[in-house]
Amino acid sequence: MINVKKLARLIHPEFRFGSTKLEQALKLVNLGVGGFCIYGGSVNEVFETVGILRAASRTPLLISSDYENGAGQMLSDATELPSNMAVGASGSPDIARRKGEITAVEAKALGVDWIFAPVTDLAVNPANPIVNLRSYGSDPALVASLASAYISGLHSCNTISTLKHFPGHGETSVDSHLVLPVLERTLDDLEGSELRPYLALLAQSDSVMVGHLKIPALDPDSPASLSRNIITGLLRGSLRYDGCVITDALNMKAVSDGGAAGLKALLAGADILLAPEDATQLYEILIRAAGEGVITGQMVDCALSRQDRLAQKLSAVSLTPEGLSLVGCAGHRAFVREVSAKCLAWAFQNKPFTVKAGETVFYMEPLTPQKEWHGGAFVEELLRLGVRVKPFEGGAKGKTIIGSFSRPRAFSGAINLSGAAAAELEGVVSGGGDILMAAFGSPFVFDGFHRRMAAGLCAFGGLGDFQRSAAAVLTGAAAAGGTMPVDLKLKQ
């Protein structure tokens, strides 16, 4: 007879500040869940909440989060770090490792032990709405090298790592938060591309997150996250991986179906069922399945043994408020500033584009009024360097800079330029003059315009220090030290 408390430990619900009630989470702790995935909050809120949840639990709780770009990705008072694609442009394992170290130090201070990173998907489809900047690039060898360095940074601070999204989400063209992507690739195709980083990194990583994507050649019926062919057959069998396997969030629209997806994932070979829509409902489904003999004791014990191995990696260090001084500290923020120019890259240079003190340059962001510009740090730095900046108006003649800030957003279903934004840019570039587009986000925004622009500069993110470095590059005060880590597939 299976101990039903063991079944609860397979479930790791989300704790989303602003919507999850602490009382609700404590009920789940009493139920016996194995951990929580934390979203949002402030530094103090995360620290205090994790402490309360841990104190209430009879078993060690694994606390995780999607801090792909550091805790500052979700917490404004922590350090937000460069995107993976920015690190890919630098080509530097040292930068990748330091990103992992800073992420781990700040996460551990907050009480977060498990980082759902690195993303090892390849950035090979410009239309992919959810990978993009989260990838190190399109070259499997580059991705594997930088992801390995990042993992070593996490591990140096005793933090759990995760490769995602197995067997590779880079070639998809829809957002699995909204719909189920279908990837028409054979196993041979995957072994030549998306699987290569996994082949290099499985022995190093603590866990693997399986993506919500369907690959009919591998399983005509189920998405990877619910597929026995892919989890038990390919990952466990062919690739001989015996580490912890976790689903992507089960509340994503690609698979959400009232709890049945969690049972399917467990039967497919997953060890941890992440963020179901209703954790209590899933628990009840698992109890019924165990009573009917669908779930076996051996299956549950094997999954929990892998979860226990993760818990045993963690040091028994008490959380103290004093440790929070490391979160968002000056040294961590200095790292972002110091590496920023090394991560910038020219997408193309049809002719030189520079601006000098005393010159006037026009600036615009597609479909964005001046009071809502995202490029405030960029404009302010140009002004500080002596450049006169004016908002672009139709018919303006002279040097023009276009700032683009498109980036992956869960549940948005789109990236790059909308039809309306492209139409506005068409009006700008058709007017002539020297034009530069600065991509403070997706680098896949130039197609259709690049031949009529002087140059395109990529910062792979909108961090303030990266905006300031871009301004420095354009005024000759700094050099863009990176190289493009992706093929933009620009039509000639």
Residue among 236, 250, 117, 122 at smallest CA distance from 185: 122
Residue among 118, 150, 85 at smallest CA distance from 482: 85
For residues 198 and 208, is the Cβ–Cβ distance under 8 A? yes
DSSP-derived secondary structure for 205-223: -SEEEEPS-B-TTT-SSS-
Residue 357 CA, distance from chain mean position: 38
Catalytic positions, written as ranges: 177, 248
DSSP-derived secondary structure for 22-75: HHHHHHHHHHT--EEEEES--HHHHHHHHHHHHHH-SSPPEEEE--TT-GGGT-
For residues 363 and 392, is the Cβ–Cβ distance under 8 A? yes
Q: Look at residue 457 and give its three-state secondary structure.
A: strand
Q: What is the chain's alpha carbon radius of gyration, rounded to the nearest angstrom? A: 23
Query: What whole-number distance in Å separates Cα of residue 2 and Cα of residue 362?
Result: 69
Q: Look at residue 436 and give its three-state secondary structure.
A: strand
